[in-house]
Amino acid sequence: MSFPFAEFEKKWQNYWLEHKTFKTPEDFSLPKYYVLDMFPYPSGAGLHVGHPEGYTATDIVARYKRMNGFNVLHPMGWDAFGLPAERYAMQTGVHPAITTEQNVNTFRRQLQALGFSYDWDREINTTMPDYHRWTQFIFLKIFNSWYDPEQKKARPISELPVPTGLSDREREDFINRHRLAYLADIPVNWCAQLGTVLANEEVDEWVSKGYTVERRPMRQWLLRITAYAERLLDDLQYVDWPAGTLELQKNWIGKSEGAEVQFKIKGGGDVLTVFTTRPDTLFGVTFMVLAPEHPLVEKITTSEQQAAVVEYIRQTALKTDLDRQLDAGKGIKSGVFTGAYALHPVTDGEIPIYIADYVLMGYGTGAVMAVPGHDERDYGFAQQYGLPVITVVQPADGSLVTGCFSGEGVSVNSEFISGLPTAAAKEKMIAWLEEKKLGCRRVTYKLRDWLFSRQRYWGEPIPISFDEDGFFYPEDENSLPLTLPPSENFMPAATGESPLANLTDWVYHSRGGKKLRRETNTMPQWAGSCWYYLRFIDPHNPNELVARDKEAYWMKDGVDLYIGGAEHAVLHLLYARFWHKVLYDLGYVSSVEPFRKLVHQGIILGEDGGKMSKSRGNVINPDDVVREYGADSFRLFEMFMGPLEQMKPWSSRGIEGVHRFLAKVWRLCIDKENCFNEALKKPPAEKTERLLHQTIKKVGEDIERLSFNTAISQMMIFINEIDSTTGLGEFGVQAFLQILSPFAPHLAEELWQRAGYEPSIALTSWPKYDATKIIDNEVEIVFQVNGKVRGRALLPLNAGDEILRQAALTDEGVVRNLAGKTPKKIIVVKNKIV
Ligand code: ANZ
């Protein structure tokens, strides 16, 4: 049983586009509602069924809010730089701009075929020069800023206090060391066969294909996100996000409070500084471990240990930090003795120094004081290398532990802190270390600065040049965009640099008589998505990234609702929050946080309950579903499958079910002569009217709660109760189509027009339910005799005591049970029981 969706869905899509029905008015007197989707990467595969899940949810909310008098901003665009287009170019020679344009066209067509109410005049594409110009502009703002730890904010680099008496070179270096975007030699994942550096998340893929990836230091751009660690953590209090996502952000930032402790190295004046979260365990240290990359290693290694140490360092270079952590987690320990000893700061005892890859150079100080009695990793290492274990903390309940006890308790065998509970022992030890100048309190974060350069062609060029002495020459803001030069060769340069390095005409240029070389790295794909929500507010502004007044209006308290995949719970959100805070410090945005409310849609599994994938053959193509059942059925089904945030499998029977529901709505409204069924406009019976008002109420409240599946159920209950002879009244006909319209906009729009009303239904006001009509005006009263139910009756709501009493006394069951006797006492509970 179907209905002619194919005849009208396209018609309404065209109508909305032609009439710009969903153009966002620039009317700042209305309350605003900014509802945003995570914009897609337009891949060659086209839309998959996961995309429309979040997009339908936001579309329902956008349509609902519009009908409730909000000025709604609901835009769409393309996160279009990225690796797949570049890989394809490497294989085929087709320029990524061409593939990207084709893919964008497919995505746009597919989204428009689903009837989403986007304001298409605001479409943006991160690869377009008029967009990436502003991405480069923001990069330059970051480059030209430093973080003032006193004011706790970014400030223009021109305000950086620079010591006097420095040479030009020293001055330049000093300034560059303070910029929020800086160059540094850092270990990267270098793949010689590919001739390129890989991002951490790419490493596994290539290693599993048999490529070798090694860590090697390279000169890279980094963004100083670590300066914002505390604010990124603190400001989470202002957002309404899923608890799991907040937790992931916190863990990623990874704040640890503890102390730095200094150990002298025996013979020679060197000092080894470690970071520890457990200064209370100082008396339990039995060895020290340095990261193999630690700068002291070369200096302290004795000649006997030289060969073993060098070999170990070589092996470590083949492992990524992630591998090292995973191995440590699995209890796989390896390391080598350096031959050197440290001296205990209190007891002066000699402590052997090892190197081991479970200690990472990038965290803390890259060195640990090992306490095998109380740290699992140290314990494993001590077991393997036969090192002593000393117990210095006991459980507070006095119970005995053997092996390693990593919990908190009471200090023992620890001189001046013995007997103290862990928290107090830590404090006392820190105070002692600070007094003796042997250490200090220290907070560290797991968060690392953001590796921002990629050896790629298809990304935003970093707008910086260098002269022969390595001095920086940023592009003039007014000369932006710095566009990608045309190219036909997308292979990396032989040196491992980006393909841009091959384009010498572009790379070498001169400015004011100076010969300059351009940066050939490009920005990572994250860059464009760090600020796109701002550009949607003012997408065609040629003079500013976003006009101040528009930003102040739309971004008050941030984006009101942001829906997207949980895979972006960490990096995208963290990077975007970081840029937003820099822009906030520099006065470009007015809200502290960009995204106030965030929701992740659940993954849609294949019909077999497994992850959708080509190899399993369980992939559902949205185009096929739309062809067979129509866009409305597709939208409705994606929302009816279950709670938005839950993972759920696709179901062919399910889509047929919602399709039948829509077909029934069609048949109720359109008669055999293909005319609107005017009988529906007859005045409604009381029961119908009650259900109608209940339905209006529930659907509205459910949309507010993003509980779309229950809203749909309620509409189904309503439709089940009516047939083609039921009167709904004119209000009822309109109201039902209106509440259906955010879910099934094409059908609602078509029936609205056929019922004789002017399009667009999307621009009408959400119907108001009448609270007095919702309440049932009869209630069931229970009659009891001596505590046993003997009868029931439907009586008017709020009927007085006397009416209830009379009804009870004349009830058949009650009369029979009283058997002629008069009750001693009659108790009446209003609307409930006699
Ligand atoms: C001594 C100690 C005793 C430690 C003890 C723990 C327990 P979180 O909480 O993750 O911040 N550590 C420090 N720097 C490290 C590095 N670069 N690589 C690997 N491990 C490192 O962990 C901090 C603890 O991890 C530090 O406290 C240190 O071991 C180790 F009963 O110091 B602890």
Residue 726 has what pLDDT? 92
Ligand 1: residue of 363, 406, 433, 444 to mutate (most ligand atoms within 8 A of CB) is: 363
> Over the Cα atoms of the chain, what is R_g?
34
Which amino acid, 509?
H
Backbone phi and psi for residue 702, each to the nearest 5 degrees, phi listed first: -65, -40
Position 201 scores a pLDDT of 64
The pLDDT of residue 2 is 80
Q: How many CB atoms lie within 10 A of CB 227?
A: 23
Between CA 194 and CA 317 the distance in angstroms is 18
DSSP H helices, 37-121, are 50-67, 83-92, 96-112
Q: Which residues, 6 or more positions from 113, have their beta carbon under 8 angstroms from its beta carbon?
A: 9, 13, 623, 626, 631
pLDDT tens digit string along 710-730?
999 999 999 999 998 899 999
Residue 708 three-state SS:
helix
* Percent of residues, the chain, with pLDDT higher than 70: 99
Q: Strand, coil or helix: what is 477?
A: helix
Q: What is the pLDDT of residue 38?
A: 97
When pLDDT is cut at 50, 70 and 90, the band that residue 195 belongs to is low
The pLDDT, as a whole number, for residue 337 is: 97
Ligand 1 centroid, distance to 255 Cα (angstroms): 12
Cα angle 666, 670, 672 (rounded to 5 degrees) comes to 120
Q: What are phi and psi of 628, to 5 degrees?
A: -80, -40
From the CA of 706, how far away is ligand 1's center (Å)?
43
Of the ranges 181-195, 470-484, 605-619, which one carries the lowest mean pLDDT score?
181-195
CA-to-CA distance for 730 and 96, rounded, in angstroms?
A: 55
Q: Tell me what percent of the residues of the chain surpass a pLDDT of 90.
A: 80
Burial of 6 (0-12, 13-18, 19+ CB in 10 A): middle
Residues 132-179: tens digit of each pLDDT = 999 999 999 999 999 999 999 999 999 999 999 999 999 999 999 999
How far is Cα 258 from Cα 427, in angstroms, rounded to an integer?
9
- 156 phi/psi in degrees, rounded to 5: -60, 145
Identify the H or E element spanning 3. Answer: none
Q: What does the pLDDT read at residue 129?
A: 97
Assess contact for 751 and 669: CB atoms under 8 A. yes
**CA torsion, ordered 149, 151, 153, 157, to nearest 10 deg:** -80
* pLDDT given at position 1: 56
Structure tokens at 182: 């800086």
Q: Ligand 1: residues whose CB is within 6 Å?
A: 256, 275-278, 281, 291, 359-360, 363-364, 366, 368-369, 371, 374-375, 406
Q: What is the pLDDT of residues 443-474, one digit of tens each?
A: 999 998 999 998 889 999 999 999 999 899 99
Return the best residue to mutate from 369, 375, 411, 441 for the ligand 1 pocket (most ligand atoms within 8 A of CB): 375
C-alpha closest to that of 33 among 77, 55, 66 = 66
Query: pLDDT tens digits for 317-331?
Result: 888 777 888 888 888
Write phi, then psi, for 591 (nearest 5 degrees): -105, 150
In angstroms, the CA 721 to CA 493 distance is: 70
Centre of ligand 1 to C-alpha 277, Å, is: 6
**Using one digit for the tens of pLDDT, what is the confidence trace for 54-85?**
999 999 999 999 999 999 999 999 999 988 88
